[in-house]
Amino acid sequence: MPPETVGSDHRPVARRVLVMRPDNIGDVILAGPLMRGLRRDQPDRRIGLLASPAGAMAAPLLPWLDAVVTARPVWQDLRGDLALDPERELAFVERLRAGRWDAAIIATSFRQTAWPAAYAAYLAGIPVRVGFAPDFGGSLLSHPVDPPEVSLHQAERNLQLLEPLGVPIAGDQLEVVVPEDARRAVEARLAAVGVQPGEPILVVPGASAPARRPDPRRLGEAARLIARETGRPVIVTGTPRERALVAACRAAARGATAAVDLGDDLAVPEFAALVEAAAVVVCANSSALHLADALDRPVVATYAGTDLPTHWRARRARAAHLTVSTDCSPCYAITCPLADSPPCLALEPGDIADAALALLNGLPHSATRTAVEATWAA
């Protein structure tokens, strides 16, 4: 490492740090504790985020960020539909170089590799490059980190990357800050349909991976049962690409007291404000789960067997994570090869409703966690 990149305490000098996480909204939220640690360690540090177009939409919720670099790098081309275009990737490297970053922290899940991002940072002249190194990659990482246990929660996994910089961990709980204008906008929408913050049952049937999406009709039926018991209004929401899911879920919830349609044009900060305003959130393993956890809202997650429960579970909010035990779990599949509706999500609406009612009735967190573990082990 060049001498100028090392401080008198032998820590790398990192006044301008780029956190590289060009993935989904939930992945960016899970990197929040890492960014919080960077900010509290040096309040005047400049912190940037390399994010995908989707992930960048979560940036307004993370007050520790100073800059966002939006990109869709070739190593994150999940569908394989990016054309061969070296000039595009070289231009991306030049964008990184223009940021004059002192350090790049490459956050990855245990099934992702840090090496392509490390190479891009190397070519961009970023002197300190931190990432997990389960195998050999030459000197692309200036500070390779031994990977933690596979079962570690993703937020805790990210925090392991602070050690080479000598940055203390400022807590491992998720945290987001809802912008006041987003909160006011959602409160106005709720008031327009006669709903107060703290009242609604919020149902979010979508997820980025099809294998994590439950049957929306089951969620809708569960919402109807919860509403029948509580008299609470039901709000079903999603993105424009999830209109079919939302419509199917809303149709199954028909008959629920004050079923409400707020549309599908909420920006991510407004969606977070809606989660904040919910009495209970019923969702898939998705950004809704992580937002509920960060905002300490009770949440029932239909948790697909695609991943280990420890990877993404809520740890702060009172939560129930429901799944059906299958021999193929964890499969880490994007699309379930067995059925359009994954068998690990073949949950009974009554069981989903019972979990939500227990949370609404103030079931202690420890009791909920015990029930969850019993479900996982079934």
pLDDT digits (tens, 9 = 90+) for 178-193: 999 999 999 999 999 9
> Could you tell me if 215 and 261 lie in one domain?
yes
In a domain, 354, yes or no: yes
> Residue 20 contacts by C-beta under 8 Å, 6 or more apart in sequence?
50, 104, 105, 106, 107, 117, 121
Beta bridge partners of 235: 202, 260
Which of 165, 196, 222 is a domain's end point? 165
Q: What's this model's pTM, rounded to 2 decimal places?
A: 0.92
pLDDT score of 317: 97
Radius of gyration of the chain (CA): 21
pLDDT score of 368: 42
pLDDT score of 3: 37
d(CA 172, CA 315): 9
DSSP string, 16-54: EEEEE--S-HHHHHHTHHHHHHHHHH-TT-EEEEEE-HH
- Hey, what amino acid is at 360? L
> Could you tell me if 334 and 194 lie in one domain?
yes
In a domain, 110, yes or no: yes
> Could you tell me if 43 and 191 lie in one domain?
no
> Could you tell me if 111 and 204 lie in one domain?
no
Q: Phi and psi (nearest 5°) for 320? A: -125, 125
Please give the residue range of the domain that contains residue 7.
Answer: 3-165
pLDDT score of 275: 98
pLDDT score of 255: 73
In a domain, 173, yes or no: no
Which of 165, 190, 222 is a domain's end point? 165
**CA dihedral defined by 202, 205, 209, 214, rounded to 10 degrees?**
130
pLDDT score of 366: 42
CA atoms within 13 A on the CB side of 63: 9
pLDDT score of 252: 93
pLDDT score of 377: 31
In a domain, 171, yes or no: no
**CATH assignment of the domain containing 273:** 3.40.50.2000
> Could you tell me if 157 and 274 lie in one domain?
no
pLDDT score of 9: 55
Number of structural domains (the chain) is 2
Residue labelled with tokens 């993404």? 312
pLDDT score of 304: 96
Which of 165, 188, 220 is a domain's end point? 165
Predicted confidence (pLDDT) per residue in 64-90, tens digit? 999 999 999 999 998 889 999 999 999
pLDDT tens string, the chain, 378 residues long: the values are 443 455 545 577 799 999 999 999 999 999 999 999 999 999 999 999 999 999 999 999 999 999 999 999 999 998 889 999 999 999 999 999 999 999 999 999 999 999 999 999 999 999 999 999 999 999 999 999 999 999 999 999 999 999 999 999 989 999 999 999 999 999 999 999 999 999 999 999 999 999 999 999 999 999 999 999 999 999 999 999 999 999 999 999 987 655 678 888 999 999 999 999 999 999 999 999 999 999 999 999 999 999 999 999 999 999 999 999 999 999 999 999 987 789 999 999 999 999 999 999 986 544 444 344 334 332
> Could you tell me if 313 and 248 lie in one domain?
yes
Burial class of 149 by CB neighbour count within 10 A (0 to 12, 13 to 18, 19+): exposed
> Could you tell me if 204 and 67 lie in one domain?
no
> Could you tell me if 151 and 231 lie in one domain?
no
> Residue 109 contacts by C-beta under 8 Å, 6 or more apart in sequence?
23, 27, 154, 157, 311
**Nearest-10 crossing angle of helices 349-360, 365-377:** 160
Residue labelled with tokens 């029932």? 300
